[in-house]
Structure 1
């Protein structure tokens, strides 16, 4: 019972914290190369988690098989999931990125259905899927003028792709539970995913003359490392190890609301009628998909 309670606290923590990371990422990459910024964030977070485990007296069993097992979720969730959003929020509002990412539970369940073809979509999952897609169309409709900007359009498309990548990594993690410590798994995933981002920085960014690190960039980096990566990602993996994946993904209901409100209050990001409608449609869709998934699970038990 205590483990369940801890898992619910971990879930509540990520519900709030991950909503703030979109704002922090946008502040951080404003004057700094995004892949380098996010790569430094994640690799440092991985190192800090390992140090935490060492200081807590836990025996670390690091092996090639562990690295190999965590490489796929590290690349999916960190490099091509969370990491590339740092590039996207240079060109799209942080609140919009959060709204698009709120569809991650929908992608998770759809990918699960594709993998297990014996499953059939009930009406809740079907309706929820169409509502989620409709919400994305409303977002595009609200930003038709901005879509003429290729960087703005690319930011939206890359954000959608990052959500699919994160969903795939989440499913892989859920289906490949091992006896290793979830925090150790998190550290390896953060380090390998961050290394992937640093490699992308070497390939795609001009880092010969880095701009001076401003106070806001440094504070955003510290916050993202300590709170957004170390604490929240460890809490996410802990919740995944103790709770059903459909329940854990409830964080996606809260994250976009936190991000939109903070973006409006701090960065003066626009909130209008279409933004509110898109948020309502997407969240209703995600709710229906999760409801349909739980009904299917209960029926099959």
Structure 2
């Protein structure tokens, strides 16, 4: 079976999407477990940044190595490199700088739910940057419902036994930069190979994070044994493998036919955080999760209908 046939098959397409979203959802508890195992505390900010740097430098190298094995040519256009550096500044450096620090203060379940807002921030950024990608009333409704999921945690947090504080705010800032980075990456992909764009921006961002962290802490300030190395390699592979699966889905399918699967990322993140971190699934968490998922579905059903009308 060819790649195109598998990724467009009624069974292959959801299977690949499930694989990608499961990998991305597993990142939340795995990073928390890595912090615990490597004895990285919430106040050790530069150790967290250094760990993020190791992950994305390795993830970028994996994708660039894949390009060599697949004989995909590297773009030597200086303009492309400048654009990729800009994407890297937001999509990797800014996003994961705030993400790794915020995650050390927040639970895995709440972090997973907040991650669902990336889709909404992406829509808001596109609304202000592109005249042909404005928010419609239904898209606005989807964004409203999604952010209502975050408001539920904020308003009911203390009475439900958990707080909405510094870590959660940093995670929201992280998701904003993620949405901005996604929009910039889409713009840059018009004249850059998507493999090269993603691999290089991860590598460049990883090196920046490594440099910032190592400048304050040294190159290896935390406990690193076989289990820690395995966790780090898994986190790097999930970034590169998740991208590869999603990129192939986007290549062989319409955006709208697969984008609703993004709602599975917070779902998998919450479930895996509950299992691996033994975090309690409070009813408030479940309500918030449902609102985020419904918001993502509303937004992407609008895209699907719009695309279907164009193809009719």
- Which interval holds the TM-score relative to the shorter structure? 0.7 to 0.9
Q: Cα distance 1:4–1:165, how it changes in 2: closer, same or farther (>3 A)? A: farther
SS at match of 1:108: helix
Aligned twin of 1:78: 92
Bigger mean CA deviation after superposition, 137-146 or 238-247:
238-247
Pick one of 148, 152, 157 that aligns with 2:169.
Answer: 157
Name the CA distance, whole Å, in 1 between partners of 2:305 and 2:98.
34
CA contact (8 A) 1:246 1:293 kept: yes
CA RMSD of aligned residues (A): 2.8
SS at match of 1:60: coil
CA contact (8 A) 2:60 2:200 kept: yes
SS at match of 2:222: coil
Aligned twin of 2:27: 21
Aligned twin of 1:173: 185
CA displacement 1:153-188 (0-9 Å, x = unmatched): 221111111111111111122223245432222210
Aligned twin of 1:279: 289
Q: Cα distance 1:241–1:108, how it changes in 2: closer, same or farther (>3 A)? A: farther
Name the CA distance, whole Å, in 2 between partners of 1:18 and 1:208.
27
Pick one of 190, 206, 211 that aligns with 2:222.
Answer: 211
Residue 261 of structure 1 and its aligned partner are, at CA, apart by: 1.2
Q: Cα distance 1:120–1:299, how it changes in 2: closer, same or farther (>3 A)? A: farther
CA contact (8 A) 1:105 1:249 kept: no
Q: In the comparison of the two structures, how many residue pairs are matched?
A: 295
Q: Which runs of 5+ in 2 are unaligned?
A: 41-46
Q: Which runs of 5+ in 1 are unaligned?
A: none
Q: Cα distance 1:280–1:290, how it changes in 2: closer, same or farther (>3 A)? A: same
Aligned twin of 1:223: 234
Name the CA distance, whole Å, in 2 between partners of 1:99 and 1:176.
28
Aligned twin of 2:298: 288
Aligned twin of 1:66: 80
Name the CA distance, whole Å, in 2 between partners of 1:299 and 1:58.
35
Aligned twin of 2:212: 200
CA displacement 1:65-87 (0-9 Å, x = unmatched): 33212112222221222453222
SS at match of 1:213: coil
Name the CA distance, whole Å, in 2 between partners of 1:11 and 1:179.
26
Q: Cα distance 1:178–1:114, how it changes in 2: closer, same or farther (>3 A)? A: closer
Q: Cα distance 1:43–1:209, how it changes in 2: closer, same or farther (>3 A)? A: closer
Name the CA distance, whole Å, in 2 between partners of 1:251 and 1:196.
31
Bigger mean CA deviation after superposition, 8-17 or 83-92:
8-17
Q: Cα distance 1:110–1:174, how it changes in 2: closer, same or farther (>3 A)? A: same
Residue 282 of structure 1 and its aligned partner are, at CA, apart by: 1.4
CA contact (8 A) 1:29 1:37 kept: no
Aligned twin of 1:107: 121
Aligned twin of 2:43: none
SS at match of 1:89: helix
Q: Cα distance 1:214–1:268, how it changes in 2: closer, same or farther (>3 A)? A: farther
Q: Cα distance 1:60–1:66, how it changes in 2: closer, same or farther (>3 A)? A: same
CA displacement 1:11-55 (0-9 Å, x = unmatched): 443211101011111122332421100101111221222223223
2:27 is aligned with 1:6: no
